[in-house]
Each structure stands twice: as C-alpha cells, then as structure tokens.
C-alpha cells in the first residue's frame, strides 16, 4: 500500500476502505508518512469529503492510535459531555456537580483554551490552590469517592489527532466536517465513557456559524457514537450572544457559583439544566421525566452547590470564594461600558466580544500566552434588551489602561442598536438524537 495511491484515490472522489484508513493513520503516527503527503491527503478530503463509513473508520483508527482509557473500575454508567466551545461557555463547571449530586459519576478530562478565554482547566485554576494535574489512579479514586473529578487532558490519548490537527491548522482544512467529527469523537471514545451529551454551538461566536452546518456535524457525531455502541445526543445551542453574563476565567467561576445558588442568568441556568437532565437520564438509566425531577430537586435544595464545594476541596482548592467572590478579583480595576444610542440591542457580534476579553488578557492569542485569571468583562445587557444612551451595558475588569481602551473600542463595534423591539434569541435550537 502506498500513500500516494490513497491521496490520488481520495482526490478523484474514491471511498477508502477500513484497512486503507488504518494504514494511513498508523504509518503517519509512526513517522513513516511525511507531513507533506498527509497535508495533500487532508486537502483532498476537504474538497471531496468523506462518507459516513470513512469518517467512522477514521475516528476509530485515531482513537486507537494511542492509549484508550479503561474506566471499568468506576462504578455505574459513565457519561461524558463535550462542547464545541463559545464565548462565556462555562457549562462543565456547573453541570458536573449537578450530575454528580444526582448520583451519576462524572470523570472528566478537559483542556485549556486558545482564543477568547481559557478552557475549563484554565477556569478551574482561577480558584486558589485548585490542582488539575491528577494521575489516572487519583482521578478514578476521587470519582468513586465523591462522584466527580476534572483533570487536564492525557497526552497519551489520540496522538494521531494532535499531529493531524497541527497540519489542518496550517493548511486551511480545519472546517471540513468529517475531520471535525473524527477529531472530537476519537478523543471522546478514547476517554472511555459509555454515553455522550454533545453541546454544538451555533452562531457568530461559534465555530459552526449556521444551523445547517451545526446540524450536519451533530448528526455525524451521534452516528459515530452509535456505530461505536455508545448512546449520544447533541444539543444545538445559540452562540449569537455570549452565554451568561461573564467572559473571563475568575468572573465565570463566580457566575458558576451564582448559578449553583439559583441566582445565575436565565440562559446559562436553562442550558445547564437541560444538558444535566439528559446526562442523568443516560447515567442513571431512568426516564427523562425522572431525570428532570431528580436534577431539579438536587439543584433547588443546593445539593449541587455543596457537591461543587466538595469537588473544589478534593482537588486542593480554597472554597472561601464561594461566600466571598471578590477574593478571586484582587487588585483588578473596573471600567463601565456605556450604550451609545437609545433603542434595543439588535445584534451582538459574539466573536468580537470574545476578542475584547482576550485583549484584556483573559485568553490566549498564542499557545505561549499567559492568562490573567482576574480580567474579563461582565454584560448587563444582551440582545433584545431595551437601552438608553449612556446606560451601562457592562463592566471591564482590567489591569492595563491601554488594553482596556482597545477592548472598549472592540466592544463598541460589536453592538448594533435597533429602533424597534427585538426578540431575544432562542437558546436551544434543536436536539439531534
């Protein structure tokens, strides 16, 4: 078998067999196929696409390119959640304790962020003392003891994806749906869960900009899970405005606590409860109505908040911020942001709002960038809200005046005002099961 023949076959629209795909991935990981040939293959896939069967074979070949985690020592059904990411997306930090409080084990591997704000690991590390470097035995032991553990990603999982993504990023092939689906699902499957709840973001602040694109990706990922013998469903959720009010690591942790206390923004609360219900339905093997009743009870009686505190303590974190949130924001300056017109907020360019947070220091422009956990922004108004000129739209949390000025310019460009009332965007656009 020769790589050049596989490139030609895909370039001409042919369908690769399971053996051909396994050869391609195996030899690439072993270093026997050079980057320039894999780059040519990725470009052929970008133009010719992959069939559902090819995408499944690619996913499984990538899954087994490295370590596959065995979670059999964790009792019960293991349910994982994945979000394609967006501005203000902090759902894992809220979801995990809700689900664990309902008796479903949450063994979560999460990553760092590159872009608008940090990933789940960066957010949790905004908590003083919180440790995300757990070895496998510690991670499993904690899940069995308290029902929840969140650690940084295992470098031995899916090495094929790391090598291929590095090429996709520099060859303009990132957007191909089959490559996105195989990248996400190979990591989820290798992490060892029994079922998956996927949160596919749609809109200006998401990777998938349109509902048809997002629906295609969601359906493909659900089919890959099914062919792998796993349960899965995908929620398509709106990212035409930031999720919740806060964008920035410590600010988002504070908002997570507010939400677990029942005082969080309605949009964030609703999405988290909806995802939690599906995770508990799968993990406890009960009906949707039973899962809903259990989730709402554990949320409303603050069992989920108590589970969050237990989780933070178990991983070395200081829980004092739960009652004194200002402890996470020491020495940061605050600047109000004002409306520039009367009317209604007609549109928020969510990606630009994320960029403003990154300029303040809440995200990474490069892998080497250092995040400042305390900076970011809080929105007091969102799409559909009525505003008056010079009314406060939100607050910037910053350290450097120059960065604050640049972020403010971006934010002012990111908002469109309307002279007529505007309907707030629908949050859950579809569910693919």
Q: Which residues are catalytic?
A: 82, 161, 168, 183, 187
Instruction: Give the gyration radius of the chain's Cα atoms.
Output: 22
Residues 6+ apart with CB under 8 A from 93: 120, 123, 124, 252, 253, 256, 308
Residues forming a β-bridge with 29: none
Q: Spell out the SS3 assignment of 157-192.
A: CCHHHHHHHHHHHHCCCCCCHHHHHHHHHHHHHHCC
For 41, the 3-state DSSP assignment is helix
Q: Beta-strand (E) ranges in 111-260?
A: 148-152, 195-202, 231-238, 246-247
d(CA 403, CA 54): 46
For 138, the 3-state DSSP assignment is helix
d(CA 141, CA 394): 42
Cα distance from N-terminal residue to C-terminal residue, the chain: 38
Q: Are 397 and 251 in contact (CB under 8 A)?
A: yes
Q: Which two tokens stand for residue 16?
A: 């690769």
Question: Rounded to the nearest 10 degrees, what angle do helices 3-11 and 18-29 cross at?
Answer: 130
């Amino acid at each position: 078998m020769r790589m050049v023949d596989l490139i030609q076959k895909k370039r001409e629209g042919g369908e690769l067999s399971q053996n051909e795909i396994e050869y391609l991935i195996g030899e690439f990981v072993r270093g026997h196929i050079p980057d320039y040939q894999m780059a040519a293959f990725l470009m052929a896939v970008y133009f010719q696409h992959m069939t559902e069967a090819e995408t499944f074979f690619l996913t499984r070949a990538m899954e087994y390119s490295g370590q596959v985690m065995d979670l059999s020592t964790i009792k019960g059904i293991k349910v994982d959640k994945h979000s394609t990411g967006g501005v203000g997306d902090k759902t894992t930090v809220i979801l995990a304790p809700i689900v664990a409080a309902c008796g479903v084990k949450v063994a979560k591997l999460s990553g760092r962020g590159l872009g608008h704000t940090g990933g789940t690991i960066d957010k949790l590390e905004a908590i003083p003392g919180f440790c995300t470097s757990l070895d496998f035995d510690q991670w499993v032991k904690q899940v069995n003891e308290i029902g929840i553990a969140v650690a940084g990603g295992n470098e031995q999982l899916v090495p094929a994806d790391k090598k291929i993504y590095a090429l996709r990023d520099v060859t303009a092939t990132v957007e191909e749906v089959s490559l996105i689906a195989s990248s996400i699902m190979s990591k989820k499957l290798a992490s060892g869960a029994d079922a998956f709840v996927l949160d596919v973001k749609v809109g200006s602040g998401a990777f998938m900009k349109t509902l048809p694109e997002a629906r295609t990706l969601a359906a493909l990922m659900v089919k890959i899970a099914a062919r792998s013998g796993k349960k899965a469903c995908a929620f398509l959720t709106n990212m035409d405005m930031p999720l919740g009010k806060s964008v920035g690591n410590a600010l988002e942790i504070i908002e997570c606590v507010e939400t677990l206390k029942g005082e969080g923004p309605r949009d964030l609360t609703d999405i988290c409860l909806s995802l939690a219900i599906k995770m508990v339905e799968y993990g406890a093997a009960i009906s949707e109505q039973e899962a809903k009743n259990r989730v709402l009870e554990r949320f409303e009686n603050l069992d989920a908040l108590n589970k969050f505190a237990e989780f933070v303590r178990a991983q070395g974190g200081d829980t004092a911020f739960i009652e004194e949130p200002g402890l996470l924001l020491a020495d940061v300056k605050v600047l109000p942001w004002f409306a520039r017109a009367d009317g209604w907020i007609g549109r928020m360019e969510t990606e630009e709002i994320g960029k403003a947070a990154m300029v303040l220091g809440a995200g990474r422009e490069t892998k080497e960038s250092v995040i400042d956990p305390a900076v970011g922004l809080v929105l007091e108004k969102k799409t559909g809200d009525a505003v008056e000129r010079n009314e406060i739209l939100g607050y910037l949390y910053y350290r450097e005046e120059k960065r604050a000025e640049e972020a403010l310019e971006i934010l002012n460009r990111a908002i469109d005002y309307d002279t007529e009332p505007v309907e707030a965007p629908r949050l859950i656009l579809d569910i693919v099961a």
